[in-house]
Amino acid sequence: MTPQDLVKALRTVPEKKLRLVELAWELANEEGELNVEAAAERVDEVDAAAREVGAYIEATRRLLWRLNDLARW
């Protein structure tokens, strides 16, 4: 795989919008701080969004390892 092939492949990867970012905006008060009461009412949703972020981080780590392997090849 050439660097050009890699760039072409990476351009096909869709943008990922993480739910946790949206929730942060929804759960912020007028001062921009977390509304703890609102977050507590939606704890299952916050937990699911946090798990999504964790999975995204792990997938990104795996991709970086593979890219490093290709760079050494």
The conformation of residue 34, written as its DSSP 8-state character, comes to B
Residue 1 placed within a domain: no
SS3 28: strand
Domain that holds residue 33: 16-72
How far apart CA 18 and CA 21 sit, in angstroms, is 6
Residue 3 placed within a domain: no
pLDDT digits (tens, 9 = 90+) for 3-35: 787 788 888 888 899 999 999 999 999 999 999
Residue 9 placed within a domain: no
Q: What is the pLDDT of residue 49?
A: 98
pLDDT at 73 over 70: no
Total structural domains in the chain?
1
Q: What is the pLDDT of residue 18?
A: 96
Q: What is the pLDDT of residue 61?
A: 93
φ, ψ dihedrals at 12, nearest 5°: -85, -10
